[in-house]
Structure 1
Amino acid sequence: MGLYKIVKYLAYALGIIGAIFALMIMAGDAGTADSMGNNVLYVTYVVLALAILLVLIYVLKGLFSGDVKKTLVTVGLFAAIIVISFVMSSGSDLDLTPFTSKGQDVTESTSRYVGAGLYTFYILAVVAIGSMVFSGVKKIFNR
């Protein structure tokens, strides 16, 4: 039996278990609903762990069966974008006193990580939009 069939049957089983838990929560009283909510969280954790595991399996399977050089170049470019974003963000251009006075643990390094994440998002969004525009223009001129 292939891995696809195993995953399909596992998804069906987890879906049925989730539906049973949902019905038990809707039919039960408040105390039962709280305890069943915890059970649903455990099912969610198991499903998340299985999804991450299967994604890793398929990625590694595809990595070793495909062009490793192209994959490593793509991962390297992504890492370069993250490094460039981290260098661009300073973290000191924000007044942190409103956050620290309320007891929140916001430091310059936290601000720098958030800024790096935002810069990474902006760069990747521009690259994605640019590649879609380039593909569309190329398709128009090739007709």
Structure 2
Amino acid sequence: MHKILKIVAALLGVLGIVFLVRIISAGDDAIKSGEKAGLVDPMAYIAYAILALVLAFVLYFVVKNLFTNTAGLKNTLIGVGAFAAVLIISYVFSGGDPRTYDLQEGVATEAQSQMVGAGLTAFYILLAIAAGAMMFSGVKKIISK
């Protein structure tokens, strides 16, 4: 399996290099004008293929590890529950902004404004938790010496 993956990775890498050289040799002006736009599509498809392969392997090994390691499953569920709690708390405490914002796609609604506020609040909560954990770890390490 390892040798097959190395061969596939090498082939995708070589294809990526070939398409990159073709794109660079065409020049920016030719691609922007649309006459050589077909050179970019194969490179994008290679990137999509690599992304799909990586996601498939990550999901496979994560699910496999969760079901073979039941203690890890418990810890994972606790972590997912804590993250969901942070998201719910953030959504509850973020109020929608009644002002309208003119965007290119249209006008932002109050619900969209509340979702943005919830995202920012969740970021700040998680940032505070991470900073607190680093400080706690540092203080614990200093005390234990």
Query: Shorter-chain TM-score category?
Result: 0.7 to 0.9
CA distance in 1, matches of 2:24, 2:105: 38
Which one of 27, 32, 45 corresponds to residue 42 of structure 1?
45
Deviations 1:22-65 (CA, angstroms, capped at 9, x unpaired): 01111236223x11112211112112222221221121122122
Instruction: Please give the root-mean-square deviation of Cα atoms over the aligned residues, in Å.
Output: 1.9
Query: Which stretch shows the higher mean deviation, 17-26 or 38-47?
Result: 38-47
Which residue pairs with 2:23 in the alignment? 25
Choose between structure 1 and 2: higher strand proportion.
2
Q: Does 1:71 align with 2:84?
A: no
CA distance in 1, matches of 2:141, 2:4: 40
CA distance in 2, matches of 1:8, 1:23: 22
Query: Which stretch shows the higher mean deviation, 126-135 or 62-71?
Result: 62-71
CA distance in 2, matches of 1:45, 1:105: 32
Q: Which consecutive residues of structure 1, in runs of 5 or more, have no partner in the other structure?
A: none
CA distance in 2, matches of 1:57, 1:6: 17
Partner of 1:24: helix, strand, or coil?
helix
Q: Does 1:117 align with 2:119?
A: yes
Runs of 4+ in 1 over 4 A off after TM superposition: none
Q: Which consecutive residues of structure 2, in runs of 5 or more, have no partner in the other structure?
A: none
Partner of 2:102: helix, strand, or coil?
helix
AA in 2 matched with 1:99: D
CA distance in 2, matches of 1:57, 1:103: 37
Partner of 2:95: helix, strand, or coil?
coil
Query: Which stretch shows the higher mean deviation, 114-123 or 102-111?
Result: 102-111
Q: Percent identity?
A: 42
May I ask how many residue pairs the two structures share in their alignment? 137
Comparing both chains, which one has the higher relative contact order based on Cα–Cα distances under 8 Å and sequence gaps of 6 or more?
1
How many Å apart are 1:116 and its aligned residue?
0.8
TM-score (norm 2): 0.84
How many Å apart are 1:103 and its aligned residue?
5.8
Distance 1:105-1:11 versus aligned 2 partners, 3 A rule:
farther
CA distance in 2, matches of 1:109, 1:26: 44
Distance 1:61-1:27 versus aligned 2 partners, 3 A rule:
same
Query: Which stretch shows the higher mean deviation, 79-88 or 21-30?
Result: 21-30
